[in-house]
Structure 1
Amino acid sequence: MAKSGDKKAELLPTRNDVPGNAKQVSIEVLQGCLYDTVDLYNGTRQAHWNVKGSHFGQLHKLFEEFYGDLAEAADEIAERIVQLGGTANGTSQTIAGGTRLPPYPTDLYAGLDHVAALADRYAAVAKTLRAGIDTTDEAGDADTADLLTGQSRDIDKKLWMLEAHLSDGK
């Protein structure tokens, strides 16, 4: 699910017996998820560094937990790309050119403004993870579908936690 126009790189040799077409599909899906995950990591760090207001302490700590988990998730995605014979592309330039997320605002400071901005982005990542689960499963790569399923559950939980901050309790 990388952006159109991305050329398919030749697979590197591996003894991994996932069929070649399934590898190509999974690598493309995973690369798109890597772009989004690293971008979400960066947006969450932006919120962590700049949050202000009465919820500062709680949100500063929450955002730190979230970006730590995103760093691990990005590593798992990148390693799966390489396991399948691909090359994980995670430079700032490739992330900026490949992310499907809107740019994170750099003029936000109020805690709940950050929460809302992050909730939108966590929801978008959750949606693309679920699409990736279906695509990689249909292609015949159950292991990648399983990896994305675990990440989808984690992102959904974080989205729920963000939304709880925005709720009026009803």
Structure 2
Amino acid sequence: MPKTRNDVNDNAKKTSIGVLQACLTDGIDLYNATRQAHWNVKGPQFHALHTMFEDFYTTLATDIDEVAERLVQLGGTANGTSQSVVSGTRLPPYPTDLRQGEGHVAALSERYAALAAALRAGINATDEAGDADTADILTGVSKNIDKALWMLEATAEK
């Protein structure tokens, strides 16, 4: 790790950098999936879903940036290239043949739930390692992901 005056202990930095990179990779993948849904959604709920998906990816963009910046603050390198996302994401590939709103809502719900679980695991790992600031950042992102998941599930309810 590069030298930094940040006094988080080295073990906590190493743990946090790993957690942050994994969450960054998944976050970028989810951002791209949400954009895919936004661009291609069709059907009777088009306008509402198109607008909701735009809100989601706008929030994700801010959260991704905060995660990446914390990673760098701790001495890591934020890897966000397409190649690093493809090789490192823990999310399943997003189906590119979806058009109808219900399909997009279901596919996004699965991925938002997966990222929510990963964030909670990351919160616990970074907190146990002694990096409360990273745990706090991940908690903020987790709240946003949980809200989006709630909105997706409410939309899918019949």
TM-score (norm 2): 0.99
- CA-atom RMSD in angstroms: 0.5
Structure 1 residue corresponding to 2:127, chosen from 133, 137, 144: 137
Name the residue aligned to 2:157: 167
CA distance in 1, matches of 2:78, 2:91: 19
Match of 2:117 in 1: 127
Compute the displacement of 1:68 (Å). Answer: 0.7
Equivalent of residue 24 in structure 1, options 14, 21, 26 = 14
For 1:165, the aligned partner's letter is T
Q: Cα offset for 1:13?
A: 1.3
Match for 2:55: what amino acid? E
Query: What is the Cα deviation at residue 103 of structure 1?
Result: 0.2
2:90 equivalent to 1:95:
no
Residues in 2 aligned to 1:21 and 1:88: alpha-carbon distance in whole angstroms: 18
- Name the counterpart of 1:64: 54
2:107 to 109, 117, 121: 117
State the distance in 1 between where 2:2 and 2:23 align. Answer: 20
Higher normalized helix content (fraction of residues): 2
- Amino acid corresponding to residue 15 of structure 2 in structure 1: V
Pair 1:12 & 2:13 matched: no
1:45 and 1:89 mapped to 2: Cα distance?
A: 20
- For residues 50 and 144 of structure 2, what CA distance do their matches in structure 1 show? 19
- Distance in 1 of aligned mates of 2:139 and 2:18: 17
Identical pairs, percent = 68
Amino acid of the structure 1 residue aligned with 2:118: T
Task: State the SS of the aligned residue for 2:27.
Answer: helix
Deviation at 1:115, TM superposition (A): 0.5
Q: Please point out which of 66, 79, 85 is paired with 2:75.
A: 85
Q: Which residue number in structure 1 is paired with residue 65 of structure 2?
A: 75
Amino acid at match of 1:49: W
Deviation at 1:45, TM superposition (A): 0.2
**Which ranges in structure 2 are unaligned for 5 or more consecutive residues?**
none
TM-score norm. by structure 1 comes to 0.92
1:39 partner letter: D
Listed as ranges, the gaps of 5+ residues in structure 1 are 1-10
